[in-house]
Structure 1
């Protein structure tokens, strides 16, 4: 049976900046069909693409993450999910934390213990960082409310996108235009409605036409 290499990418719905993670996966030669992308919080592992990934992997396959934080920001979940992959014979690779990569050969007792210690520490830092992000968000919202600032989300358009969001849109747009994926796959990966997707496409193409 042929073993596969999968890539998992996760960003929060507010950050929308998965472009650099996708670039890292492509540099490793991971095919687009083997990439699973979630735009969801790392507070738990109840994410559609992550669950689909777990249902797809087989013993001997490899799953690549940019960082342990892309797996989860919950210390309990990180350890539980890490063990799930190990117990099911799936190899793990972490681009930013290669010391946590699993291997085909059996680890010694000391090496295994060291891996568990490092995993626990990094997972704890990830959970602490998430708590700090939540705290800063709460403080920002409260500060905005005191100033009477409107907190509603602006209408989606290419003009209102952040730099990272634009890079992600262009990446997915190019994949669609070069027939690497369908329009449906594209706006689903971008997590925007069909009508909004085509509106942004038209806006983007008009900008390109003007700049030519």
Structure 2
């Protein structure tokens, strides 16, 4: 009976450590599984697939939120039921009302049949309790899917608004990202290399700037282009 904490981020700007901290605070013994795959489908999430093959009946998988398991409501609900029937417990820290205990409680609350005609009514009550549990789970996955869709829409609208207001979106075409070390190296080349009126050879300039041959000639070319 092992505990696994599954953590996933979908963009390079997200920090996976927040999910790790949340899970470890509630389940300090959990084995953390990290996933950095970008996407919205289960296919391609290698670490999740490995985990699903590994888990055994009685094991528990903990998620920081339902969106970490799936942002596709149909796939999410299908996997939820699949794991439930495999007797793998699921815990969602931010949506505890849909932990697999929801299903288990619905089953435990089943009304015992009497062997009489009233069983028709009792069977309907039992079906209602199970459907209520399923509906809670569906809503949670649908909400996660909607939040992702809304976020993408707000991002597109924000970019379009900025563009219409004349703001530069992203790095200008042809621009290069320059580090502090690169700027310092360029200054040494410009001031001391023989090509620009200095006294140092190329090899001496590389040593002085502490850069590789490839970087030296790249910076040298960029300096020539800027001066031209």
- TM-score normalized by the length of structure 2: 0.58
SS at match of 2:131: helix
Q: CA RMSD in A?
A: 2.6
Residue 87 of structure 1 pairs with residue 85 of structure 2: yes
Aligned with 1:136 (options 147, 150, 154): 154
The higher-RCO structure (CA 8 Å, 6+ apart) is: 1
Q: Which position in structure 1 is the counterpart of 2:33? A: 36
How far off is 1:76 after superposition? 0.6
Question: Structure 1 unaligned runs (5+)?
Answer: 158-212
- Match 1:17 to one of 11, 15, 18: 15
Contact preservation (8 Å) 1:42, 1:71: no
> Matched residue of 1:143: which SS?
helix
User: 1:48 — aligned with what?
Assistant: 46
Partner of 2:140: 122
Secondary structure of residue in 2 paired with 1:140: helix
Q: Which residue of 2 aligns with 1:168?
A: none
Deviation at 1:79, TM superposition (A): 0.6
For residues 44 and 121 of structure 1, do their structure 2 counterparts lie closer, same or farther at Cα, with a shift above 3 Å needed?
Answer: same
Question: Which structure 1 residue ranges, 4+ long, deviate > 6 Å from structure 2?
Answer: none
Work out the CA distance in 2 between the residues paired with 1:87 and 1:42: 27
Structure 2 stretches of 5 or more lacking a match? 111-125, 180-228
Per-residue CA deviations over 1:79-136 (Å, capped at 9, x if unaligned) read 1110121122211111122221224967234543222111111112111111111111
1:6 to partner: Cα distance: 0.4
